[in-house]
């Protein structure tokens, strides 16, 4: 168990007691709390992509921002034209990104094998999240007109196969790494424990709370820690205040524009429901971020 898993365990116990006290939390309350934590931790973890990129690659600022923003615009267009394909692409992209950030410190040397592990670990995570909450997801999706298209994805039989295959494959891949001396027994047991913990979380808690807990604690805070340690390794005097100063400008900018877009949607100017808009915003931010982080982890 590492420190992030410990924080995760503490959060689970805290949620146990919150649920013991209130027995149920309404969807609106879940959305408010989840948005708060995602804005506080999720956005900052991708707010220094530009700095990380320039530490690893040389490119003109104009070219970088053109590519970064160009990818965002392209993905927005894809969403507007082919929402279902965009949604599936987003799931696969996120899965790979989650898996990559999970194993970056594992020092795996089978380079051709790694992408497979990253992808399946992330797919297993998303499949587990969706499988345990499929009826809740289907209800949320059916509630808004522009998300009803995604309803075709929520087929229980399909999800059962997806859930089973991705989880079994991930376990096989982890055991294979152990057999090939790529992973110690200590790391393997930590990974298996984490998978069990994720299953328990996604099974017990609603979709939004389960995902937020994973995304904030096991992904965003973990990635921010990786970023912090990178700067610290470059300059020993680098501290938390300097790190927060680095995160602040682009975080505030992202939070401002996200809030404006959500307000426009709420006031009916965009003609897109808030959940659909949220998925689009999260996914278009994720695409260039995942690419930058892939470069950051591999260079």
Partner 1 sequence: MLLDIQLMRPDDYVGFTFFIGYMAMFAASVFFFFERSRVDDKWKLSLLVSALITGIAAVHYLYMRDYWGVHQESPTFFRYVDWTLTVPLMCVEFYLLTKPAGASRGLMWKLIIASVWMLVAGYIGEAFNPAITSGVASDGTSHSVMWGVISTLGYLYVLHAAWFGEVAQLAEKSDSAVVKKGVRTLAWFVLVGWAIYPIGYMCMPGGWLSSVMDPSMIDVWYNLADAINKIGFGLVVYHIATSESK
Which residues of the shown chain bind partner 1 in the complex (CB under 8 A)?
1, 3, 6, 9-10, 13, 16-17, 19-21, 23, 186, 189, 193, 204
State the nearest-atom distance from the C-beta of 37 to partner 1, in Å: 20
CB-CB contact of 221 with 38 (8 Å): no
Residue 271 main-chain phi, psi, to 5 deg: 70, 20
Ramachandran category for residue 21: left, alpha or beta (phi over 0 → left; psi -120 to 50 → alpha): alpha
Residue with Cβ nearer partner 1 (23 or 112): 23
DSSP type of residue 205: S
Q: How far is the CB of 193 from partner 1 (least distance, A)?
A: 7
| C-beta of 169 vs 190, nearer to partner 1 | 190
Residue 111 or residue 186: which is nearer to partner 1 going by CB? 186
User: Nearer to partner 1 by C-beta: 23 or 233?
Assistant: 23
Which residue, 14 or 88, has its beta carbon nearer to partner 1?
14
Ramachandran class of 168: left when φ > 0, alpha when ψ lies in -120 to 50, beta otherwise: alpha
82 sits in the region (left: phi over 0; alpha: psi -120 to 50; else beta) called beta
Residue 227: CB minimum distance to partner 1, A: 21
Shortest Cβ distance from residue 14 to partner 1 (Å)? 8
CB atoms within 10 A of CB 60: 8
The minimum distance between CB 195 and partner 1, in angstroms, equals 13
- Helix (H) or strand (E) holding 177, with range, is helix 156-179
DSSP helix/strand/coil, 257:
helix
């Amino acid at each position: 168990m590492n420190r992030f898993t410990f924080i995760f365990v503490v959060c689970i116990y805290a949620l146990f007691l919150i649920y013991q006290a209130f027995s149920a939390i309404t969807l609106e309350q879940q959305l408010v709390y989840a948005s708060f934590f995602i804005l506080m931790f999720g956005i900052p973890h991708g707010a220094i992509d530009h700095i990380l990129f320039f530490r690893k690659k040389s490119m003109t600022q104009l070219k970088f921002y053109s590519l970064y923003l160009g990818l965002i615009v392209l993905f927005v267009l894809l969403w507007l034209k082919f929402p279902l394909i965009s949604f599936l692409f987003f799931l696969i992209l996120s899965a790979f990104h989650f898996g990559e950030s999970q194993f970056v410190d594992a020092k795996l040397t089978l380079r051709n094998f790694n992408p497979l592990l990253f992808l399946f670990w992330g797919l297993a995570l998303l499949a587990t999240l969706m499988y345990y909450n499929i009826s809740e997801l289907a209800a949320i999706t059916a509630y808004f007109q522009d998300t009803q298209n995604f309803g075709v994805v929520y087929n229980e039989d399909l999800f059962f196969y997806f859930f089973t295959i991705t989880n079994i494959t991930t376990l096989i891949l982890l055991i294979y790494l152990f057999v090939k001396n790529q992973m110690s027994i200590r790391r393997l047991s930590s990974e298996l424990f984490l998978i069990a913990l994720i299953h328990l979380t996604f099974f017990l808690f609603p979709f939004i709370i389960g995902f937020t807990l994973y995304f904030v604690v096991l992904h965003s805070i973990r990635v921010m820690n990786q970023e912090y340690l990178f700067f610290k390794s470059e300059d020993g005097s680098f501290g938390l205040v300097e790190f927060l100063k680095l995160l602040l400008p682009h975080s505030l900018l992202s939070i401002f524009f996200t809030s404006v877009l959500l307000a426009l949607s709420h006031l009916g100017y965009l003609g897109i429901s808030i959940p659909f808009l949220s998925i689009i915003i999260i996914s278009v931010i994720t695409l260039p971020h995942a690419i930058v982080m892939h470069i950051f982890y591999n260079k």
